[in-house]
Amino acid sequence: MNQITTHVLDLYHGRPAEGVPLRLYRSDSKELLVDCRTDLMGRAACVPLEKKIFESGWYEIVFAIASYFTRKGVILPDPPFLDEIVIRFGISQLTNSLHIPLLVTPWSYTVYRGQ
């Protein structure tokens, strides 16, 4: 597997979530593999910093959601209900890519394995 993609949709505003900071880690070692932001369409392709191939095992994507909504002018309590959303997932089979969409509001989220 050479990339993990994501698509973040802001259901509060009804549009793609542009500029969401996200980090991808290897769970067992906490090694940072990717540090990026979603693009204009709320998409990001997580390609490892050192062009490593994803192996089978556990990974985590951390989405900085509170900072995204704050930048969009949403007034959040202190502390916010959702700050960073951590999605821990396993890769058991090596394929060309894996897609992990995130649907989000300041108070809820849904994630699933896409195609």
Cis peptide before 79 (omega within 30 of 0): yes
Give pTM, 2 decimals.
0.91
pLDDT in tens, 69-90: 999 999 999 999 999 999 999 9
Residue listed under structure tokens 């089978």 = 56
Gap between the Cα atoms of 84 and 78, Å rounded: 14
Beta strands in 1-115 (DSSP E): 3-10, 15-16, 21-26, 31-37, 43-46, 57-64, 84-91, 97-104, 109-111
Name the CATH superfamily housing domain 3-111: Transthyretin/hydroxyisourate hydrolase domain (2.60.40.180)
pLDDT in tens, 19-29: 999 999 999 89
Residue 48 contacts residue 36 (beta carbons within 8 Å): no
